[in-house]
């Protein structure tokens, strides 16, 4: 499959606007043909996945970026729903947090996700794009598209 | 005849002895007899009559054909009772029956012949017994006036007795020697036994007086001969014991009994002597005599013993012990004279002036040991009695009694008494001492127990109650009280009390005991008061308004009071004890209460101290809790603050950079500088926040440590984290071997990293940093040290440097947030260790910290 030809759909659940901007910059810099869809909470994410599962024509997310510091438990509920989705349940998930603590890493592992600590320099932050590209390229293809 | 006999003395001539045959003959009323009146007798008969009367030898005259009998006094023994009746009677009724040969002989005599009938045995009464004697009867015709034989004269000649064969044999068997000695002829006949008794063979010599006397042992001879002579002269039987020397040299004792036979004229005619060898008997007698002497000596000894022995001895010679004799010692024990009957069961037993007690009760007479022993026939031992004498003196006796037997029956009893009064007294004394020692020990034990009980009680009121209860119990007081002063929260003195043995109701109505004469010395702490009877004490009843016990107060006679004085000298109160009976409290009780009061004082002192300490402790705990809460709040705040600050700081940094890049070339120099300041500030703020977070979480490591961590390895870990700085500064870091310690690895890494990092950072420009780490054992902990050759720290800052955000230098030369050492201190202190620094300006500093040794923790 030609990765460059295909559109990479990225679903981002993030409520921090500055970070959303930086995530978009990083993806745009490193992932070709990327299509980013951002929601600010879990409920909205769940609605999208519902739509994806209902409508085969609706593009399916190739990766889910999830901020661990979402208010309430909406992030986790969204992840659970994402994992139950027949179309995108096998897609990689990247959990993001601004604090580097073993607790946060452990939680990400628990959710079956990779972990990204939001760094405090621009160059480091932009590395997020490269990580996403690697995760997507390693991931198995969506069953519907093979 | 009877009447005549009665009258006879009046008619008899005075020269004739009264009652003799002569008198009879002379007085007889011959006229009334066949012989007729004496005047008419033929002359020859008259002559014969005269011969008869004058002769002593027994003679009979038989006259006429009827043999009318006349006899003289010598015949009395032969005729016996018929002596008078036979006179003038016919002899035919008496004689021919006894002498068969007499009729024939008389016929010849009446024929004119004189003849002798030999060996006529006649029984004679001699020495008041009948004895068979042998006579020769010489018969002579008595011619009458007409020349015819008118009668016969019979003269009885007694012959020496001829022993019968049987008698001889009997004597031989009995080893009785016989000597028959005819004194008129001098002829002697000795039986074989007589020879043998003299140590001679039968017939070895001519028997006779000379032969006999010569055999007698020289020492006995005179007495023997003299005795025989005098016996013959006095007409007595001879009886004598004497010794005879046998040819073999042995001395034999002989016993000879001899009788002399006399004629009518009292001339000795014959002697019969019987001799027995009594050597054996004499020897036996000798032995008996010796035994007797021995016995007598022993009896004497025994009697002396009884007299002087300090042991009382009593003897009863009857099975009921109704008569008891005692020796002087026994008499003294009983308080009676020796001469009286000491038996309580005797006739005068009730009047004896002593009483016998056993175990305090009087013993009845039949139950006394001797009586019991005699009744039951058993030995009684070791019975202890008390004898109360008339004057009340008491003697303790131990008594033994044993029955005395004779032929299997109890015949009496022997009692032995030992005076154990002294021993008893000593025993009582000993018991008393023992009891006192036991009491002392018990007191000490009780005090000890009380002390323990008191020491473990720190509650004031409970303690006071305990003291009161224990003291009341130990002194056997009916009731006890403890009045003591306390100071209440408002600082006022209040007198409280506890009671034992009664209820509070019994004291409710009365005022607290005050400083009355009786109570004064107790409240003044002047010592213990003990009264056998407080009512008789001069201090009692002096204070108004009651002047003594108030109405309704519990009755008190025995009184005991002890002050309770603290170590400070302050008298806190008093222990008071009472009993309704007098004389209850002893010296021991006093000592006990003194000890208890001292214990109580110490315990109360302790309780006071404890109360004070407890108050302080509680205060401390409260403050501690508050501090901990504040600390936790602070840390929570620090954590939240630093965490929440991180997010916007990160955005400031990143967006400043982004802005700088986006506007590259569109900013002028000034704008670039300003932008750079924004970014520096953000970075610096970020470092502070990160370190602050690290500080708040420094000891926030959970989970128990399962094993010590190897400091050696951890040190290497820290150095690898610092390798950039080490390389840049060309630092030389060395260390001695480091031990395993109880700490979390992350903490130890942080410790070494911060300290070594500081040592490199605060270097002098002149030389490269040299850092050395080592550890030294000090008791239960290790002292780690990190020494450097850096700039050093001035004395006044050596404490401050461990404070949060405390920095000595500007960030330009020595970058840092001032949190590293604060974190170090926090970690070390979380393990109970200390951290400090020693330093010399311009020469270097040494940081020390301590950690517990493995195995010493917990």
Chain position carrying tokens 């705040």: B637
- Whole-number Å distance between alpha carbons of A87 and B721: 46
| B433-697 is classed CATH 3.30.450.40 | yes
Domain residue spans in chain B?
A: 2-159, 165-277, 309-419, 433-697, 701-852
Does any CB of chain A come closer than 8 Å to the CB of residue B662? no
Q: What are phi and psi of B143, to 5 degrees?
A: -85, 140
Is the N-terminal amide bond of B584 cis, ω within 30° of 0? no
At residue B463, φ and ψ (nearest 5 deg) are -60, -50
SS3 for B14-80, per residue?
CCCCCCCHHHHHHHCCHHHCCCCCHHHCCHHHHHHHHHHHHCCCCEEEEECCCCEEEECHHHHHHHH
Closest CA to B122 of B184, B152, B66, B80: B80
On whether the CB atoms of residues B775 and B711 are closer than 8 A, the answer is yes
User: Which residue did the predictor score with more confidence, B136 or B376?
Assistant: B376
- State what percent of residues in chain B have pLDDT above 70: 89
Task: Looking at the structure, give the CATH architecture of the domain made up of residues B165-277.
Answer: 2-Layer Sandwich (3.30)
A103 touches chain B (CB under 8 A): no
* B445 CB-contact burial (10 Å; exposed 0-12 / middle 13-18 / buried 19+): exposed
Chosen for mutation from A122, A125, A126, A128 (greatest number of chain B CBs closer than 10 Å) is: A122
Q: In the prediction, which pLDDT does B9 show?
A: 38
B654, B661, B686: residue with CB nearest A125: B654
Nearest CA distance, B649 vs chain A (angstrom): 8
**pLDDT tens-place string over residues B607-635:** 777 777 888 888 899 998 888 888 777 77
Give the pLDDT confidence score for residue B811 in this predicted structure: 56
pLDDT at B770: 94
Residue B80 · residue B64 · CB < 8 Å: no
Query: Does domain B2-159 correspond to CATH entry 3.65.10.10?
Result: no
Q: Between residues 673 and 692 of chain B, which touch chain A (CB distance below 8 Å)?
A: 683, 686
Whether the predicted pLDDT of B11 surpasses 60:
no
Domain B701-852 class in CATH: alpha beta
Q: Which CATH superfamily is domain B309-419 in?
A: PAS domain (3.30.450.20)
Which phi and psi angles does B33 have, rounded to 5°?
-105, 165
B96-108: average pLDDT: 80
Token pair 């011969």 is found at: B51
Whether A121 sits inside 8 A of B654 (CB atoms) is yes
Q: For residue B514, which phi and psi values (nearest 5 degrees)? A: -110, -170
Mean pLDDT of B371-390: 89
Cα distance between residue B90 and residue B69, in whole Å: 6
The reply to whether A29 touches chain B by the CB within 8 Å rule is: no
Q: What is the mean pLDDT of residues B653-665?
A: 85
Sign of the Cα torsion B350, B352, B353, B357 reads: negative
Q: Is B663 on the interface with A (CB under 8 A)?
A: no
Helices B421-455 and B460-475, interaxial angle, to 10°? Answer: 170
> Are the beta carbons of B828 and B835 closer than 8 angstroms?
yes
In angstroms, the CA B712 to CA B718 distance is: 10
Per-residue confidence at A31, pLDDT binned at 50, 70, 90?
very high
Q: How far apart are CA B473 and CA B388, in angstroms?
A: 39
Confidence of residue B150 (pLDDT cuts 50, 70, 90): confident
Q: Does B658 touch chain A (CB under 8 A)?
A: yes
Q: How crowded is residue A44: how many other Cβ atoms within 10 Å of its Cβ? A: 14
Q: Maximum distance among all alpha carbons in chain B?
A: 246
pLDDT bucket at B163, cuts 50 / 70 / 90 = low
Q: How many CB atoms lie within 10 A of CB B757?
A: 19
What is the mean pLDDT of the segment spanning A32-54? Answer: 90
The percentage of chain A sitting over the pLDDT mark of 70, rounded to a whole number, equals 88
The CA-CA-CA angle for residues B89, B95, B97, to 5°, reads 125
**How confident is the model over B639-664, as a mean pLDDT?**
82
How confident is the model at residue B500, as a pLDDT?
Answer: 85
| Interchain pair B686, A16: CB under 8 A | no
- Chain B positions touching A102 (Cβ under 8 A) are none
| % chain B with pLDDT above 90 | 10
Would you state the pLDDT for residue B51?
Answer: 83
In the three-class reduction of DSSP (H, G, I as helix; E, B as strand; rest coil), residue B692 is classed as helix
Distance CA B302, CA B291 (A): 16
Gap between the Cα atoms of B60 and B514, Å rounded = 142
> With bands split at pLDDT 50, 70 and 90, how would you rate the model's confidence at B160?
low
The arithmetic mean of pLDDT across residues A76-89, rounded, is 87
Give per-residue pLDDT as tens, B236-273.
889 889 999 888 888 899 999 998 888 777 778 888 89
Mutation target among B642, B650, B653, B662 for the A interface, most CBs of A within 10 A: B650
Q: Which of A118, A120, A121 to mutate to test the interface with B (most CBs of B within 10 A)?
A: A120
**Helix H or strand E encompassing B582:** none
Q: Do B654 and A99 touch (CB under 8 A)?
A: no
Q: What is the pLDDT of residue B527?
A: 84
Listed by start position, the domains of chain A span: 8-139
Residues of chain B numbered 131-170 and touching chain A (CB < 8 Å): none
**Is the per-residue pLDDT at B6 higher than 60?**
no
Compute, in degrees rounded to 10, the torsion defined by CA atoms B634, B638, B639, B644: 140
Band of the pLDDT at B188, cuts 50, 70, 90?
A: confident
Residues 6+ apart with CB under 8 A from B45: B61, B63, B142, B144, B150, B151
Q: What is the 3-state secondary structure (H, E, C) of B774-787?
A: EEEEECCEEEEEEE
Given a cut of 90, is residue A63 above it in pLDDT?
yes
Q: Which residues contact B185 (CB under 8 A, 6 or more apart)?
A: none
Give B52's contacts (C-beta < 8 A, 6+ positions apart).
B25, B59, B61, B70, B71, B72
Closest CA to B756 of B780, B794, B785, B776: B785
Q: Which helix (H) or strand (E) holds A17?
A: helix A17-30
Which CATH homologous superfamily contains domain A8-139?
Response regulator (3.40.50.2300)
What count of other Cβ atoms lies within 10 Å of the Cβ of residue A142? 16
Residue A144 pLDDT class (50, 70, 90 cuts)? very low
Q: How far from B386 is each of A146, B340, B395, B397, B648, CA to CA, in Å? A: 131, 20, 6, 6, 115
Q: CB of B369 within 8 A of CB of B380?
A: yes
∠ CA B452-B460-B496, nearest 5°, is 125
Q: Could you give the CA distance from residue B91 to residue B79 in angstroms, rounded to a whole number? A: 11
Least CB–CB distance from A122: residue in B643, B657, B686? B657
Among candidate residues B144, B139, B145, B148, the one with its CA nearest the CA of residue B113: B139
pLDDT band at B166 (very low <50, low <70, confident <90, very high): low
Task: Report the residue of chain A nearest B686, measured CA to CA.
Answer: A120
The pLDDT, as a whole number, for residue B162 is 54
Whether chain A has a CB inside 8 Å of the CB on B657: the answer is yes
| Domains B309-419 and B701-852 are alike in CATH topology | no
Summarize the confidence of residues B299-319 as an average pLDDT. 86
C-alpha–C-alpha distance, residues B63 and B559, integer Å = 133
DSSP B534: G
Q: Which residues of A touch B702 (CB under 8 A)?
A: none
pLDDT in tens, B673-731: 888 888 888 888 887 787 777 777 776 655 566 678 899 999 999 999 899 889 999 99
The beta-strand segments (E) located in B566-688 are 571-579
Question: What pLDDT sits at residue B14?
Answer: 38
Average pLDDT over residues B829-844: 89
Among B93-97, B227-231, B268-272, B641-645, the range with the most confident prediction by mean pLDDT is B227-231
pLDDT digits (tens, 9 = 90+) for B496-552: 788 888 777 777 767 666 677 788 878 888 888 888 888 888 888 777 777 777 777
Is B650 close to A98, i.e. CB distance below 8 A?
yes
Whole-number pLDDT of residue B795: 86
pLDDT in tens, B26-83: 666 677 777 778 788 888 888 888 888 877 778 888 888 888 888 888 787 777 777 7
CB contact under 8 A, A98 and B647: yes
Q: Which class for B337: exposed (0-12), middle (13-18), buried (19 or more C-beta within 10 A)? A: exposed
Cβ contact A137:A3 at 8 Å: yes
**Residue A1 pLDDT level (bands cut at 50, 70, 90):** very low
pLDDT bin (cut points 50, 70, 90) of residue B769 is: very high
Nearest CB to B686; choose among A22, A99, A120: A120
Query: For B657, phi and psi rounded to 5 degrees?
Result: -65, -45
Chains A, B: CB contacts under 8 A, how many?
30
Mean pLDDT of chain B: 82
| CB B850 within 8 Å of CB B833 | yes
Q: How many residues does chain B have?
A: 858
- Encode pLDDT of B190-215 as tens digits: 888 889 889 888 888 888 898 899 88
pLDDT score for B436? 80
Is the CB of B650 less than 8 angstroms away from the CB of A119? yes
Cβ of residue A98 closer than 8 Å to a chain B Cβ: yes
Q: How many Cβ atoms from other residues are within 10 Å of residue B349's Cβ?
A: 16
């Amino acid at each position: 499959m030609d990765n460059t030809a295909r559109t990479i759909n990225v679903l981002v659940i993030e409520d921090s606007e500055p970070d959303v901007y930086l995530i978009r910059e990083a993806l745009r810099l490193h992932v070709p043909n990327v299509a980013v869809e951002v929601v600010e909470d879990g409920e909205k994410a769940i609605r999208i996945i519902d739509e994806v599962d209902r409508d085969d024509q609706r593009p399916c997310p190739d990766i889910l970026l999830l901020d661990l510091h979402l208010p309430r438990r909406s992030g986790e509920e969204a992840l659970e729903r994402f994992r139950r989705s027949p179309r995108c349940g096998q897609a990689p998930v990247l959990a993001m947090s601004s604090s580097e603590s073993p607790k946060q890493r452990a939680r990400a592992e628990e959710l079956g996700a990779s972990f990204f600590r939001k760094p405090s320099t621009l160059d480091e932050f932009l590395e997020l794009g490269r990580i996403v590209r690697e995760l997507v390229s390693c991931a198995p293809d969506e069953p519907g598209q093979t | 005849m009877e009447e005549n006999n009665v009258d006879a003395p009046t008619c008899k001539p005075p020269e004739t002895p009264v009652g003799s045959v002569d008198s009879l003959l002379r007085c007889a009323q011959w006229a009334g007899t066949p012989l007729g009146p004496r005047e008419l007798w033929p002359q020859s008969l008259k002559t014969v009559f005269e011969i008869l009367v004058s002769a002593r030898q027994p003679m009979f005259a038989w006259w006429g054909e009827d043999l009318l009998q006349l006899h003289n006094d010598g015949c009395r023994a032969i005729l016996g009772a018929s002596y008078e009746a036979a006179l003038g009677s016919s002899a035919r009724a008496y004689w021919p029956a006894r002498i068969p040969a007499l009729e024939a002989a008389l016929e010849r005599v009446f024929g004119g012949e004189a003849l002798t009938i030999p060996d006529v045995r006649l029984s004679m009464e001699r020495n008041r017994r009948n004895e068979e004697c042998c006579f020769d009867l010489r018969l002579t015709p008595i011619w009458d006036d007409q020349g015819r034989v008118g009668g016969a004269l019979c003269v009885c000649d007694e012959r020496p007795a001829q022993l019968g064969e049987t008698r001889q044999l009997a004597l031989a068997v009995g080893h009785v020697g016989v000597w028959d000695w005819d004194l008129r002829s001098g002829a002697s006949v000795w039986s074989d036994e007589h020879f043998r008794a003299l140590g001679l063979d039968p017939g070895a010599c001519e028997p006779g007086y000379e032969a006999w006397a010569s055999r007698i042992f020289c020492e006995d001879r005179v007495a023997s001969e003299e005795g025989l002579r005098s016996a013959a002269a006095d007409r007595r039987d001879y009886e004598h014991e004497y010794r005879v020397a046998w040819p073999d040299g042995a001395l034999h004792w002989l016993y000879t009994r001899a009788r002399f036979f006399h004629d009518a004229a009292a001339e000795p005619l014959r002697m019969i002597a019987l001799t027995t060898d009594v050597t054996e008997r004499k020897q036996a007698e000798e032995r008996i005599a010796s035994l007797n002497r021995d016995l007598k000596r022993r009896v004497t000894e025994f009697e002396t013993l009884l007299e002087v022995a300090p042991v009382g001895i009593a003897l009863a010679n009857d099975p009921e012990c109704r008569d008891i004799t005692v020796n002087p010692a026994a008499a003294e024990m009983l308080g009676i004279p020796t001469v009286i009957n000491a038996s309580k069961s005797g006739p005068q037993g009730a009047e004896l002036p002593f009483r016998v007690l056993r175990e305090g009760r009087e013993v009845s007479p039949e139950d006394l040991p001797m009586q019991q022993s005699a009744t039951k026939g058993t030995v009684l031992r070791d019975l202890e009695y008390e004898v109360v004498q008339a004057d009340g003196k008491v003697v303790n006796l131990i008594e033994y009694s044993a029955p005395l037997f004779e032929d299997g029956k109890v015949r009496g009893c022997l009692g032995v008494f030992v005076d154990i009064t002294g021993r008893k007294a000593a025993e009582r004394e000993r018991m008393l001492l023992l009891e006192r020692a036991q009491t002392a020990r018990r007191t000490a034990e009780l005090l000890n127990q009380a002390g323990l009980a008191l020491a473990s009680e720190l509650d004031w009121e409970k303690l006071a109650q305990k003291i009161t209860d224990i003291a009341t119990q130990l002194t056997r007081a009916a009731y006890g009280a403890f009045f003591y002063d306390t100071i209440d929260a408002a600082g006022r003195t209040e007198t409280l009390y506890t009671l034992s043995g009664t209820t509070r109701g019994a004291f409710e109505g009365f005022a607290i005991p005050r400083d009355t004469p009786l109570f004064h010395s107790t409240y003044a702490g002047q010592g213990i008061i003990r009264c056998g009877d407080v009512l008789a004490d001069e201090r009692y009843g002096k204070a108004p308004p009651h002047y003594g016990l108030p109405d309704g107060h519990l009755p008190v006679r025995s009184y005991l009071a002890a002050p309770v004085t603290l170590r400070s000298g302050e008298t806190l109160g008093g222990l008071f004890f009472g009993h309704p009976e007098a004389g209850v409290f002893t010296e021991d009780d006093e000592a006990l209460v003194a000890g208890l009061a001292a214990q109580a004082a110490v315990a109360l002192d302790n309780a006071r101290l404890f109360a004070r300490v407890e108050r302080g402790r509680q205060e401390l705990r409260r403050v501690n809790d508050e501090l901990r809460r504040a600390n936790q709040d602070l840390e929570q705040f620090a954590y939240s603050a630093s965490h929440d600050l991180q997010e916007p700081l990160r955005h400031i940094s990143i967006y400043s950079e982004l802005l700088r890049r986006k506007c590259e070339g569109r900013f002028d120099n000034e704008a670039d500088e300003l932008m750079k300041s924004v970014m520096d500030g953000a970075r610096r703020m970020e470092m502070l926040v990160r370190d602050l977070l690290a500080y708040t979480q420094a000891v926030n490591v959970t989970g128990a440590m399962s094993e010590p961590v190897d400091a050696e390895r951890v040190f290497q870990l820290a150095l690898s984290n610092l390798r950039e700085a080490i390389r840049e500064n060309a630092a030389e870091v060395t260390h001695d071997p480091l031990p395993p310690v109880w700490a979390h690895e992350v903490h130890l890494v942080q410790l070494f990293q911060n300290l070594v990092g500081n040592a490199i950072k605060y270097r002098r420009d002149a030389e490269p940093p040299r850092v050395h780490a080592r550890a030294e054992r000090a008791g239960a902990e290790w002292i780690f040290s990190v020494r450097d050759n850096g700039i050093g720290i001035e004395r006044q800052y050596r404490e401050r440097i461990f404070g949060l955000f405390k920095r000595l230098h500007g960030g330009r030369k020595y970058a840092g947030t001032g949190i590293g050492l604060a974190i170090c201190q926090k970690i070390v202190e979380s393990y109970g260790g200390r951290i400090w620094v020693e330093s010399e300006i311009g020469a270097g500093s040494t940081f020390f910290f301590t950690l517990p040794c493995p195995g010493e923790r917990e």
